Amino acid sequence: MVKMKKLKMAVIGAGFWGRNHIRVLSELPQADLVAICDINKQRAEMLGEKYNINSYTDSKDLYGKEEFDAVNICVWSTNLFQKAVEALNAGKHVFVEKPMASRVAEAEKMVETAKSEGLHLTVGFIERFNPAVRRLKEAIKEGKIGTPVSATGKRVSKWPERIGDVGVVKDTAIHDIDLMRFIFEEDPISVYARAGRLRHKRFEDYAQVMLAFPDGKSAFLEANWLTPYKVRRLTVTGSEAIITVDYITQEITIETSSQTLIPRYEWEEPLKLELQHFVDSVLNNNDPMVTGLDGVKALKIAEAILESAEKNRLIELDL
């Protein structure tokens, strides 16, 4: 019997989203979760006992005492860069949660470090792994909507308690920024945005964005932390039909001039698909679907959005 090859992994950051990473990795047959690290000692120890793995409060101790191949980094946005570079310098493949870093220069440094060390670096743009998005991409490829001309992303909800170090653009809208590049398979050429603060003193909590793509295509993004209920929706308009995706339910609707189709599929957990892909890409030494460069470009667009909103003018993009 051939023994299954496993990827030895650790998770740094065991807050709300980090705990989901820990749970999923413990369920993946090809992942061998060996340790977790969190600055909260009680939380780290509790999760260590739950999953029967070693726990740490200092990442330096983790690297000094454990042998593993890859690390998932789920800390606050302002700490992502430091923890990712530390991991890369320790020779570990890295899955880093979005927005990857708090500034473009940091993200570029991460990509350079991963390249020079010959290590995998992928960014947590989970919606690319949403089965509904995958079906939308297939429908476009098969010509079911004709020529895509515009896309609209709506990502709104109440203020998330976990957020405290970046605004809605880099934390929330960045998913849709990446998805628009993914759907159109090219980079936007300019951006115009409005944004502001209603409930947050330091960061923007709402933004409306228009991204212009080549050949007259455009994308419209709305993101806020003000709406009393959560909406996660994407609509792509083509010359022959309109497709709407609900990220939460994974329902997809295709509307043509003659009919409305709502195909039914079994729900799948995007995080599980995303982390399985990361494990497979490292084990098989394949390029990941989401690269460090994708993260850099999304951050560049996010910073251009904030600049456009601040200066109230169109910003040309050179990606």
Per residue in 222-232, pLDDT (tens digit) is: 999 999 999 99
Q: What is the pLDDT of residues 33-62, one digit of tens each?
A: 999 999 999 999 999 999 999 999 999 999
Task: Write down the CATH superfamily of domain 7-125+272-290.
Answer: NAD(P)-binding Rossmann-like Domain (3.40.50.720)
**For the chain, what are the domain ranges?**
7-125+272-290, 127-268+300-316
d(CA 125, CA 128): 6
Q: What is the pLDDT of residues 234-284, one digit of tens each?
A: 999 999 999 999 999 999 999 999 999 999 999 999 999 999 999 999 999
Predicted confidence band of residue 161 (pLDDT cuts 50, 70, 90): low
- Of the candidate ranges 108-112, 145-149, 155-159, the one whose mean pLDDT is the lowest: 155-159
Predicted confidence band of residue 165 (pLDDT cuts 50, 70, 90): confident
Q: Is 43 exposed, middle or buried (0-12, 13-18, 19+ CB in 10 A)?
A: middle
Predicted confidence band of residue 172 (pLDDT cuts 50, 70, 90): very high
Predicted confidence band of residue 201 (pLDDT cuts 50, 70, 90): confident
* Predicted local distance difference test score (pLDDT) of residue 202: 84
Whether the predicted pLDDT of 218 surpasses 90 = yes
Side chain identity at residue 189, one-letter code: I
User: Tokens 């022959």 belong to which residue?
Assistant: 240
Q: What is the pLDDT of residues 97-106, one digit of tens each?
A: 999 999 999 9
Whether the predicted pLDDT of 164 surpasses 80 = no
d(CA 282, CA 90): 16
Mean pLDDT of the chain: 95
Q: What is the pTM of this model?
A: 0.95
Residue 253, number of CB atoms within 10 A of its CB = 14
Structure tokens at 76: 């606050």
Whether the predicted pLDDT of 116 surpasses 90 = yes
In the CATH hierarchy, which fold is given to the domain comprising 127-268+300-316?
Dihydrodipicolinate Reductase; domain 2 (3.30.360)
Q: In terms of Cα–Cα distance, which of 29, 37, 104 is closest to 74?
A: 37
Predicted confidence band of residue 297 (pLDDT cuts 50, 70, 90): very high
Mean predicted confidence (pLDDT) in 176-200 = 96
Predicted confidence band of residue 26 (pLDDT cuts 50, 70, 90): very high
* Predicted local distance difference test score (pLDDT) of residue 199: 86
User: Tokens 């993914």 belong to which residue?
Assistant: 182
* pLDDT top residue among 199 and 255: 255
Q: In terms of Cα–Cα distance, which of 112, 129, 94 is closest to 9?
A: 94
Which residues fall within 8 angstroms of residue 45, CB to CB, at 6 or more apart? 55
* Predicted local distance difference test score (pLDDT) of residue 4: 73
- Cβ proximity of 85 and 91 under 8 Å: no
d(CA 193, CA 244): 23
Going from the C-alpha of 299 to that of each of 10, 157, 210, 230, the distances in angstroms are 26, 22, 16, 24
* Predicted local distance difference test score (pLDDT) of residue 42: 96
Mean predicted confidence (pLDDT) in 175-182 = 98
Side chain identity at residue 81, one-letter code: F
* pLDDT top residue among 211 and 163: 211
Mean predicted confidence (pLDDT) in 179-197 = 97
